[in-house]
Homo-oligomer: A and B are copies of this chain.
Amino acid sequence: MAPVTNGRLLFKEVPTGYPVPGQTTAYDDSEKIDPETVALNGGFLVKTLVLSIDPYLRGRMRAPTSKSYSPPFAINEPLTNFGVGVVVRSENPAVKAGDHLYGFFKFQHYTVETNAAQFKVLENKEGLPWSAYLGVVGMPGETAVYAWNEFSKAKKGETVFVSAGSGPVGATVIQLAKAQGLKVIASAGSEEKVEFVRSVGADVAFNYKTASTSEILEKEGPIDIYWDNVGGETLEAALEHAARYGRLIECGMISQYNSAPYHVKNLIQIVSKELSVHGFIVGSLRDKYGADFYANFPARVASGEIKYKEHRVLGLEKAGHALLDVLRGDNFGKSVIVVADE
């Protein structure tokens, strides 16, 4: 096999607002690789199949001096994120050619890796699409299941409000809540997304761009649980319409990532309604819930009990645009880049 282009999506510049494809990231095709002959030096060669596009990536597009829970991207280096790849060749006894690996991948077609421990070999007995391991049975699904188990204290008959309900986290939360007998209110950003949110079980679904979140919650609440994916004005409405002893699960604040933060005005509600507000990072809960998740959740998805929706984008060169779409809410379903077929 002759050398092939090993295309990469590089981080070029820290964005000030939304990332700008071609400027803050750029696709680079200057590297070549021969998959059959590249030196492995005891490692293994992985071909990237699918990569995940997630809102939190915006937080990694920052100056390295700015502290956060996840490492910043390095200028002129490829982005990295969760992905699934297939082992092409291996000199490491822990993995063999044909194994499918889940873990952190560089945004490039082929990578020689040395540390097998940083990947999980996917068995996929259920025969799910590999991309599902980036969504409903990957990090977003883990996020929903782990934090719901840890923080919701859900009781049958309670009411939960889920923002960004059509995303992979939100849609999973809706289904977990319905399975426990809660009333589910969910918001999404288009009529089509609202329809999907309703189809996975939301009792009340609305388009936050055309309806008032506060008015809906006034009518359908008060809410015992708020699953917050967006922060800002929606969080303020949720505080206003929270029930006494309400639990707020702070999964993300996508409305705050690309603009000046919205200033929530009614934090006093935390005191007067005796609310609990929990922030979390999925990785911190993995030790506690991970084994059970991977043992049981893929089967619930494969059986159709848990539904999901994917937004598949073909081609690594489109990853910068795909991220922008996710940050703007222009995707519909879990956003994945299909880098290559097997």
Residues of A within 8 A of B (CB): 59, 68-69, 231, 235, 244-245, 250-253, 256, 261, 263-281, 284
Contact = CB atoms under 8 A, between A and B. Distances in A.
In the complex, which of the residues A235, A250, A278 has the most CB atoms of chain B within 10 Å of its own CB atom?
A: A250
A231 B268 contact: yes
A322 B273 CA distance: 27
Contact of A272 (B68, B261, B268, B273): B68
A250 B270 contact: yes
A281 B276 CA distance: 12
A167 to B, nearest CB: 15
Nearest to A242: B279
Contacts of A231: 267-268
A278 B231 CA distance: 18
Contact of A263 (B250, B265, B276, B281): B265
Contacts of A68: 272
Contacts of A267: 231, 235, 250, 253, 256, 261, 264
A274 B59 CA distance: 15
Contacts of A250: 267, 270-271
Q: What is the count of identical protomers in the complex?
A: 2
Contacts of A256: 267-268
A19 to B, nearest CB: 18
A69 B272 contact: yes
A25 B267 CA distance: 28
Contact of A273 (B253, B261, B266, B279): B279
Contacts of A277: 270, 275-278
B284 A280 contact: no
A186 B251 CA distance: 31
Nearest to A248: B277
Nearest to A232: B267
Contacts of A263: 263-265
Contact of A265 (B261, B271, B273): B261
Contacts of A59: 272
A305 B256 CA distance: 47
Given A68-B272, A272-B279, A272-B281, 11 more contacts: A59-B272, A69-B244, A250-B271, A253-B268, A264-B264, A264-B267, A271-B280, A271-B281, A273-B279, A274-B279, A276-B276
A261 B264 CA distance: 9
A279 B261 CA distance: 23
A235 B271 CA distance: 13
5 contacts: A250-B271, A256-B268, A264-B267, A274-B280, A276-B276
Contact of A261 (B245, B251, B266): B266
